[in-house]
Structure 1
């Protein structure tokens, strides 16, 4: 689900890859498409500024520094792909007495290995993915880990139904159709009941005040195991720091704390871009479809990856880039500034209504919806009705199977001939990495399976017509 659309991840790679495997995949991709000769490594971008004739040429002057030497270069267009995990966010002003604390304070960005924290008493602030993962990692070697959360969260399991990865099971067009069809209150009830079936969030001190769909959950399979074993102790928000301890809002306190880790996220900025090019408002950057500044005279600057999908960001960023490059070439024309500004305001209003306030509320998008929106702009969204009539087997997998990136290589610009086979074999690749001990196949349920598929084909037409 995180592969580039025309280069599936090797089938022997695990579904949830270690960072070293991710890096290997990137290197394979760059080698396959002969990209390394276009990459200037160790190059620091010092500035990006408009040319004096920008209103005519749309060109940019980019100054880079390599080994202490600065060099300017002229470019017809620029993609800024720094994302929103840029500057560590340290909300120290929110914690009275923190300046008195004698222990060590670091940001989660600095955390690499647990060994250096052996036999320490550690507080982790922030119950996001990083805070949960770091707490569990540390809990195996430290004296005690405390995890402080201000809001709580819903915790999902990476290993989902039938052992498939979470996004493979839930990021499908069919389930996305149901999400739009069913009342939000009903989906909240279903989601919360399903998550509490695994472990009661209230009993574990994690239950948030917000509903299931009001904020993105975290994937932390091992956190409840660490809590039930006492290796991680949940704590509320911090009231005050002392020289060697912390007082919490419920009146409890912990002394002799050695280390505090702020897993409080990141902020983003673009100090290298000429002032006025990127306009900010209340820590939000208004971008058309999260990509284009609407006020530029020429659409030759695109921001890639400045959004927060529930799922892999690589396929979203790829579709952003595919659309942006066609805009750069003049093959796609952007609407007027007024239309783009209205679209931005509409998305901001939707997010404010749907999600509880958070640092990145304005950046959140729904995976399938946003992928389809970008694909429609580029003319690469799969036509389900046409597939249903011409290739029912593929239509079934596209609609009921995971909405994998290869779906956006079936048609339109950049069509890839291998996309169909990659989609039809994706389930085999998903289980190949875990099925390293082969078992004899069971044939007892074959007849039932065939009957279900036949009946499903008839149902597919009706569902897709309703979906369209």
Structure 2
């Protein structure tokens, strides 16, 4: 008899968990408190209690080829970076293709998830839900928590002396929807992450002046990288990952700083991170430097104190302020789980590989998407779900409790070393390394050496090209016959939405490449001649 699995949430992680359960022959039931799919990516013009909230202009920070599900490429005419409405359209196409909606109970809130009375022997859970005012308890063999971590706002008001006497309006970025109503205002945005940067850039088009207060600074990147390609298709390659993992740390950090400063010198713009050698998640914003350049946004240090109408900063400067937007992140919360099952401490949850609580008698509770990779969350959640469903079926096994706890501590120490102790970095992980780690568990990691012998063209593409999600469908459980073709044709899908005007082919690119090669030969020859 197939096992019954409860899935909490019908956002990105919930949808892919549904599909993975079906792929493994499990019987899933997804509980979604709202009336539609999409989770975080479904824009609503009003904030809804208990669900993530985005502003109207949100665009993905990772491109479509790196963000699609591994056996379902996005339509080739979709833009490379998607507005939230376009991404939601992809989710709808995906849900329809795999007939997922019939497994979702909408307008149903999960009130409590507790161990069944025979949990120690069966690993079963009682899930108490509420719909239309009526409560219901259902027993499941396993539970996948896909509720996300962008719901409960983090507003550290005690860190801002004088906030109680500030006469202007202040609110968390979760409440922000669009720039309407902010005309001619002097606005202070607290934070320098992606949301803070997006909101500051958008508001400065209508506000009198926008200030951005940054405690630690941030690296800022454009979505557009070498030769106009999306940044993550250039950055996330196996070859680059190999270099970062094998070269001495100081060389890697120097390379990262050099790369981050290629677009503009962060020190000159007041944005350079306090500890620039940490692998802090970069901000993706194509407009921020130009807005700073012509004064629409002014970067300020941390706020020391607030008066009735102004902000006093740590450098002694004072600015009149009408409104404050706190883009200060979120707190992890699972109101339907007792602390005896999962405890949140310092905005962290101790989970094996960010997924499994290590001290349960049975591995039948898993968290999907509770992670912040230096890349797209979509393929990450998918590989998590693929592994979890095989653990539920006992096709994959977990190590002992002591081994898992040791692994959690080792991972924590490494994370602090790479990313720092900041609360905003508590879920950070390297992208390809983590994907490969999960793929190894299920037997889906590409065998590059074997591929070089059998299919050198594909092997070169996999190693030196972008690390697409399709790579994890080439072999092993869940193998997809279209994976090879999807990898080799990614450039066609990338260029399709760009080439909307027909132009004659130019031979300049090949000439430029030839000149570069000749120049390199000339330099090597000059050095050789000089030595001898």
TM-score normalized with structure 2 length: 0.82
How far off its partner does 1:444 sit?
6.6
Which residue pairs with 2:335 in the alignment? 271
Specify which of 373, 393, 402 is matched with residue 309 of structure 1.
Answer: 373
Which residue pairs with 1:182 in the alignment? 247
Question: SS of 2:201's equivalent?
Answer: helix
Contact 1:154 1:212 in 2 (8 A): no
Which residue pairs with 1:357 in the alignment? 421
Specify which of 438, 441, 444 is matched with residue 380 of structure 1.
Answer: 444
How far off its partner does 1:303 sit?
0.6
> Distance between the aligned counterparts of 1:387 and 1:136, measured in 2?
46
Output aligned runs, 1:225-240, within 5 Å: 225-240=290-305
> Distance between the aligned counterparts of 2:509 and 2:186, measured in 1?
53
> Distance between the aligned counterparts of 2:191 and 2:507, measured in 1?
49
Between 1:21-30 and 1:209-218, the stretch displaced more is: 209-218
Which residue pairs with 2:124 in the alignment? 59
Matched, 1:343 2:403: no
Matched, 1:11 2:76: yes
> Distance between the aligned counterparts of 1:275 and 1:444, measured in 2?
63
How far off its partner does 1:440 sit?
1.8
Matched, 1:43 2:108: yes
> Distance between the aligned counterparts of 2:198 and 2:87, measured in 1?
18
How far off its partner does 1:442 sit?
2.9
Contact 2:346 2:423 in 1 (8 A): no
Contact 1:83 1:307 in 2 (8 A): no
How far off its partner does 1:447 sit?
9.8
Contact 1:49 1:62 in 2 (8 A): yes
Question: SS of 2:212's equivalent?
Answer: strand
Specify which of 231, 245, 249 is matched with residue 314 of structure 2.
Answer: 249
Specify which of 455, 458, 476 is matched with residue 391 of structure 1.
Answer: 455
TM-score normalized with structure 1 length: 0.93
How far off its partner does 1:361 sit?
3.1
Output aligned runs, 1:50-129, within 5 Å: 50-129=115-194
How far off its partner does 1:449 sit?
7.9
Contact 1:380 1:408 in 2 (8 A): yes
How far off its partner does 1:445 sit?
6.2
How far off its partner does 1:212 sit?
4.3
Between 1:203-212 and 1:161-170, the stretch displaced more is: 203-212
Output aligned runs, 1:431-442, within 5 Å: 431-442=495-506
Question: SS of 1:246's equivalent?
Answer: strand
Matched, 1:331 2:392: no
Which residue pairs with 1:466 in the alignment? none
> Distance between the aligned counterparts of 2:412 and 2:484, measured in 1?
36
> Distance between the aligned counterparts of 1:213 and 1:248, measured in 2?
25
Q: Deviations over 1:414-436 (max 9, x none)?
A: 11111111111012111211121
Question: SS of 1:411's equivalent?
Answer: coil
Question: SS of 2:218's equivalent?
Answer: coil
> Distance between the aligned counterparts of 1:323 and 1:99, measured in 2?
49
> Distance between the aligned counterparts of 2:74 and 2:294, measured in 1?
36
How far off its partner does 1:245 sit?
1.1
How far off its partner does 1:377 sit?
0.4
Question: SS of 1:116's equivalent?
Answer: coil
> Distance between the aligned counterparts of 2:135 and 2:120, measured in 1?
26
Contact 2:329 2:424 in 1 (8 A): no
> Distance between the aligned counterparts of 2:339 and 2:273, measured in 1?
40
Contact 1:50 1:274 in 2 (8 A): no
> How many residues end up aligned between the 2 structures?
450
Contact 1:117 1:138 in 2 (8 A): yes
Q: Deviations over 1:9-67 (max 9, x none)?
A: 11111111000011000001000000000011121111111100001111111111122
Which residue pairs with 2:430 in the alignment? 366
Which residue pairs with 2:276 in the alignment? 211
Question: SS of 1:216's equivalent?
Answer: coil
Unpaired stretches in structure 1, ≥5 consecutive residues: 453-468
1:204–1:367 CA distance, 2 compared to 1 (3 A): same
Which residue pairs with 2:218 in the alignment? 153
What do you get for the CA RMSD once the two structures are aligned? Answer: 1.7
How far off its partner does 1:198 sit?
2.1
